[in-house]
Structure 1
Amino acid sequence: MISSVKNEKVKGLKKLHKRKERMNTNTFVVEGFHLLEEASKSEWEILEIIAQEDIIVPDWTENYPMERVSDNVMEHISQTTTPQGVLAVMRMKNQEERKGNHFLIIDSIQDPGNLGTIIRTADAAGMDGIVLGEGTVDLYNDKVIRATQGSIFHIPIYHADLRQELGILKGKGFSIWATALWNATNYNETVPEDKVAIIMGNEGAGVHPELLKLADTIVTIPIYGKAESLNVSIAAGILMYHLKR
């Protein structure tokens, strides 16, 4: 059992709190029983489980290497306010070629909670994949992962140059939708084509103008009350379910 925060493995785990180290090692940390179980049911690779000394772990954890640590070490490496006493080191996954007819394109969304909620909703709505563009919050940020509630392991998520990505999708017969407040059609007045990719933009600036120019359809969600706008994750959910009507 590891009981010192100065242990080299503990130092390595602590470093994974930073994006740079996650990218250097191609690994990240998942924390909590629910997320670990969702990961274990997926095709993602669990490298090692770290469990607090007095925590009872499920039987399935016997399939993976495990290291026990003391309470103070778990508190040191945990990124939650009230640690459950178990986490796992996982390998990042390179997703395969895009398959399916419905994709969500993420342009510079920066709030971890928003991205995580969008991923969770896209999973629930049966989307075929999510493409993350430059400027978007790190997929492996712990707050993003927690907000997905495990959906990060269920739906393909890709990283790409969005201008190139849109060109590829259009070449495959996709209709590109983008969201904007002006010069747009109410989403509920549109009839989704067989293949649709929806661009969701930055919380403050919206979809980048260059990407708007590449869109086939500009849609908006009507505001019936006095709110200035909808949260981007809520807007994404409305549009994704519209595709599935």
Structure 2
Amino acid sequence: MLTSVKNDKVKALKKLHTKKERERTGTFFIEGFHLIEEAVHSNWNIKEIILQDGVELPSWANDYPILAVSENVFQHLTQTKTPQGIAAVVQMNNDTAVAGDYVLLLDRIQDPGNLGTIIRTADAAGFSAVILGEGTVDMYNDKVIRSTQGSIFHIPVFQDNLTSRIHDLKTSGFKIWASALTNSKDFHTVKTTQKVALIVGNEGSGIHQNVLDLADEVVKIPIYGKAESLNVSIAAGILMYHIKG
């Protein structure tokens, strides 16, 4: 059992909270029974499970290497306020294939909670993939993963160049929708087609013009009250369910 926060192994695990180290190792850190179980059941590669002294190991974890640590070491590693005493190191999934008729494209989403909620909603709405453009927050950020509630393990989520990916999607028969407040149509008035890729943009500045220009349809959600706009994760949810409907 590891009992010192100065142990080299503990230091290496702590570094996984940084994007640089995640990218260098091709792995990321998750916490809690639910998230780890979702990763296991979705056949992601669990490299190691970290278990706090005194915490019971669930039966589904028996097939993986276990690292036992003291409570003070686990507290040092945790990012959650009420840790459950179990964490895991997971290998990144580099699959960038899109198999399905509904794709979500994200342009420079900055808030980890928004990104996590959007991924969770895309999963619930039955979308095939979530593609993150450059400038979007890292999908393996701890807050993003927690906000997905496990959905990050259910559907492909990956980073790509949006411009080139949109051209590929058009070649494959997708209609490209973009969400914007200006020069746009009420989304209720636009007929959905069999294959749709939806773009939503940055919380403050929306979709970059170069990306927006590639859309076949630019849609908006009407505002009936005095709010200037909707939160991007709410807007994405409304439009995804409309497209699927």
TM-score normalised by L of structure 1: 0.99
Percent identity (aligned)? 60
Q: How does 1:49-198 map to 2 (within 5 A)?
A: 49-198=49-198
How far apart in 1 are the matches of 2:227 and 2:57? 46
State the SS of the aligned residue for 1:35. Answer: helix
Extract structure 1 runs of 4+ deviating beyond 6 A: none
1:3 corresponding residue in structure 2: 3
User: In 2, distance between residues paired with 1:234 and 1:57?
Assistant: 37
The DSSP-based 3-state class of the residue aligned with 2:24 is helix
Q: Alignment length, in residue pairs?
A: 245
1:42 and 2:75 correspond: no
Matched, 1:229 2:229: yes
Which whole-Å deviations, capped at 9, do the CAs of 1:29-51 have from their partners, x for residues lacking one?
A: 01001101101101210000001
SS in 1 for 2:158: strand
Alignment-derived partner of residue 27 in structure 1: 27
Give unmatched runs, 5+ long, in structure 2. Answer: none
Give, as a single letter, the amino acid of the residue that structure 1 aligns with 2:61. T
Q: How many Å separate the matches in 2 of 1:58 and 1:74?
A: 18
Any idea what the Cα deviations from partners look like across 1:222-241, whole Å, max 9, x if unmatched? Answer: 00011110000000000000
- Post-superposition offset of 1:96: 4.4
Deviation at 1:56, TM superposition (A): 1.0
Alignment correspondent of 1:200: 200
**CA shift digits 1:130-186 (9 cap, x unpaired):** 111100000000000000000000011121100101111111111100011011000
Spell out, residue by residue over 1:177-211, the C-alpha distance to the aligned partner (whole angstroms, 9 max, x if none).
Answer: 00110110001111101110000100000000011
**CA distance, structure 2, for counterparts of residue 43 and residue 107 of structure 1:** 29
Distance 1:83 1:93 in 2: 25
Which amino acid is the alignment partner of residue 26 of structure 1? G
List per-residue Cα deviations over 1:51-108 (Å, max 9, x = no partner).
Answer: 1001112111111000110010000000111111100000000114211110000100
Indicate the SS of the match to 2:137. coil
Q: Distance in 1 between matches of 2:2 and 2:233?
A: 41
**Root-mean-square deviation (CA), in Å?**
0.7
Q: Which amino acid aligns with 1:243?
A: I
Alignment correspondent of 2:218: 218
Structure 1 Cα separation of the partners of residues 56 and 99 of structure 2: 40
Query: Normalized against structure 2, the TM-score is what?
Result: 0.99
Separation of aligned partners in 2, 1:176 and 1:22: 32
Counterpart amino acid of 1:91? Q
